[in-house]
Amino acid sequence: MNFLINLIAIPLGFLMKVIYQLVGNYGISIILFTFVTRMILFPVSYKQQKNTARMQLLNPKLKKLQEKYKNDPNKMQMEQFQLYQDENINPYSSCLTSFIPLILLWGVLAVVYKPMTYILNYDANIIEEAKSIVISLDAETEKNLSKNSMRQELIIMEKMLQNPEAFSAVIQDGQVTFMENETETVQKLNYIDSQFVTEVTDFAKTFTLGNVKLSETPSTKPSENSSFFLFLIPILSGLMQLVFTVYSQRMQKKRNPDMPNMGSMNAMLYAMPLFSVWLAFTVPAGVGFYWLCSSVFSFLQSVFLYAWFNEERVEKIGEAERQKAKNAKRRPSMMQKLMEQQEEMMRAQEQQGTAGNRVRYADSDGDARFSRAEMEEYNTAVIREARRRIAEKYGDNETDSVADDNHTKKKK
């Protein structure tokens, strides 16, 4: 998991570092960083929205198929598949691409939570020694660091900014002293140097937005915060997420009036903004501010995409895709072959009688209608006929081998 996070967070950290070097302020850097990452993800969001809009226009046709073949699920499945083929649309593409933003989110949060690693480029040994200095200067901080492992670097930065002279003195001494069960333990400092305090404190001083310290954790009591805006960050973040959720639900219902009300799922969607408010009061303000910026850009992007993919434009896109599907001379997919083979088997059974669908080895009087060997022979003949027709259609033996494998497994 750490490897995957680093794979994403390292380039994102480089991006954040470049932006920070340009503007010299972490709060403004978060705004620009969020905008750039949203632009990186824009092609994915564009494709998702286009696919969703086309699926919504396709719903009336799908509903007709469901009503027409409600007593024949296999036929309905094949007709739906054919409709997707004719429209040149993949109904599962939105599901696949939705994982990309989630994977990227882990990298983004890592950059926000760990600026010393991904922006200042300090290795783990230096950060561990800095953590040891914090614990040696304030034993109570050890519980806080253990409880909040994700934001250890933000806590270290905050403590260092509060007392840089004490940090410098410990580094010059070259060792850290701990008291464990009234026993003194000494740890040598082998990696950290005297420039560390200056570099980190200079960076921490810009870890602000106006007079708001983004390394500080907001309190639920406004009077206990260094500024009123620090208290507002979690509330604004949750409110913006709620606005985005309400808008998305309203637009989906407008585009697809037949969309069912998803009771518990909708309740969860509306509960998430409230949960994020609570969560933002437990993490440094920099994280909550990133969530706020992300929600604002997501909302603006959603407004643009819903306006762009209006019904007229989606219909034109659909027409172009249908024409593209007609002109394309592509090799049929394995799924298409298997479904057509199933259809051919059903036709063969209808032509040769319905005995295969009413499998009985003996009637109520005990007279044998079909022996097991006869049924095996009959089923083999039906499958062979279906294979022959598919092979004639596509001119290859790929389907034959698949059918042989499937039939062999059934016999076993």
pLDDT in tens, 1-30: 567 777 888 888 888 889 998 998 888 999
Interatomic CA distance for residues 301 and 342, integer angstroms: 44
Mean pLDDT of 229-236: 92
Q: Which amino acid is present at 34? A: T
Asked if 203 contacts 115 with a C-beta cutoff of 8 angstroms, the reply is yes
Same domain, yes or no: 111 and 77: yes
Across all residues in the chain, what is the average pLDDT? 77
Please give the structure tokens belonging to residue 240: 């913006």
pLDDT value at 356 more than 50: no
User: Residue written as tokens 């469901």?
Assistant: 66
Q: Can you give the pLDDT at residue 149?
A: 75
User: Residue written as tokens 């040891």?
Assistant: 132
Mean pLDDT of 90-100: 65
Asked if 192 contacts 129 with a C-beta cutoff of 8 angstroms, the reply is yes
pLDDT value at 368 more than 50: no
Q: pLDDT by residue (tens digit) across 333-350?
A: 555 565 566 666 666 666
Domain that holds residue 92: 1-216+310-330
Asked if 237 contacts 281 with a C-beta cutoff of 8 angstroms, the reply is no
Which pLDDT band, with edges at 50, 70 and 90, does 293 fall under?
very high
Instruction: Note whether residue 203 is domain-resident.
Output: yes
Instruction: Note whether residue 115 is domain-resident.
Output: yes
Which pLDDT band, with edges at 50, 70 and 90, does 43 fall under?
confident
Q: Can you give the pLDDT at residue 334?
A: 53
Asked if 236 contacts 230 with a C-beta cutoff of 8 angstroms, the reply is no
Interatomic CA distance for residues 244 and 190, integer angstroms: 50
Q: Can you give the pLDDT at residue 375?
A: 64
Same domain, yes or no: 326 and 348: no
Which pLDDT band, with edges at 50, 70 and 90, does 96 fall under?
low
Asked if 287 contacts 112 with a C-beta cutoff of 8 angstroms, the reply is yes
Same domain, yes or no: 38 and 182: yes
pLDDT value at 286 more than 90: no
Instruction: Note whether residue 223 is domain-resident.
Output: no
Same domain, yes or no: 386 and 319: no
pLDDT value at 362 more than 90: no
Helix or strand run (H / E) with residue 184 = strand 183-188
Q: Can you give the pLDDT at residue 358?
A: 45
pLDDT value at 92 more than 70: no
Instruction: Note whether residue 365 is domain-resident.
Output: no
Please provide the size of the chain in residues: 412
> How many angstroms from the chain centroid is the CA of residue 265?
17
Interatomic CA distance for residues 405 and 37, integer angstroms: 47
Same domain, yes or no: 20 and 168: yes
Counting residues of the chain whose pLDDT is more than 70, the rounded percentage is: 73
Cα separation of the two ends of the chain: 41
Helix or strand run (H / E) with residue 209 = strand 208-209
156 HSE (CA, 13 A, CB side): 27
Mean pLDDT of 196-206: 90
CA distances from residue 172 to 120, 163, 182, 187, 238 in whole angstroms, order as listed: 21, 15, 25, 14, 45
Q: Is the pTM of this model over 0.85?
A: no
- Report which of residues 359 and 385 the model is more confident about: 385
Q: Three-state DSSP class for 412?
A: coil
| CA dihedral (355, 360, 362, 363) positive or negative | negative
Same domain, yes or no: 7 and 33: yes
Same domain, yes or no: 206 and 345: no
Same domain, yes or no: 96 and 29: yes
- Cβ neighbours, 10 Å, residue 357: 9
- Cβ neighbours, 10 Å, residue 208: 19
Q: Which amino acid is present at 358? A: R
pLDDT value at 398 more than 60: no
- Report which of residues 207 and 304 the model is more confident about: 304
Which pLDDT band, with edges at 50, 70 and 90, does 297 fall under?
very high
Q: Can you give the pLDDT at residue 337?
A: 60
Mean pLDDT of 164-186: 83
Same domain, yes or no: 54 and 200: yes
- Report which of residues 262 and 248 the model is more confident about: 248
Same domain, yes or no: 326 and 382: no
Mean pLDDT of 93-103: 65
Asked if 47 contacts 97 with a C-beta cutoff of 8 angstroms, the reply is yes
Which pLDDT band, with edges at 50, 70 and 90, does 44 fall under?
confident
Same domain, yes or no: 211 and 340: no
Q: pLDDT by residue (tens digit) across 140-153?
A: 777 777 777 777 88
Q: pLDDT by residue (tens digit) across 62-91?
A: 888 888 888 877 777 777 777 777 777 776
pLDDT value at 120 more than 60: yes
Q: 29-38: which pairs have CB atoms within 8 A and are 24 or more residues apart?
A: 30/112, 30/214, 30/286, 30/289, 30/290, 30/293, 31/293, 33/111, 34/290, 34/293, 34/294, 34/297, 35/293, 35/297, 37/12, 37/104, 37/108, 38/294, 38/297, 38/298, 38/301
Helix or strand run (H / E) with residue 144 = helix 141-147
Q: Can you give the pLDDT at residue 393?
A: 58
Nearby residues of 189 by Cβ (< 8 Å), 6 or more positions away: 129, 132, 133, 170, 171, 174, 175, 176
Total structural domains within the chain: 2
Same domain, yes or no: 12 and 68: yes
Instruction: Note whether residue 25 is domain-resident.
Output: yes
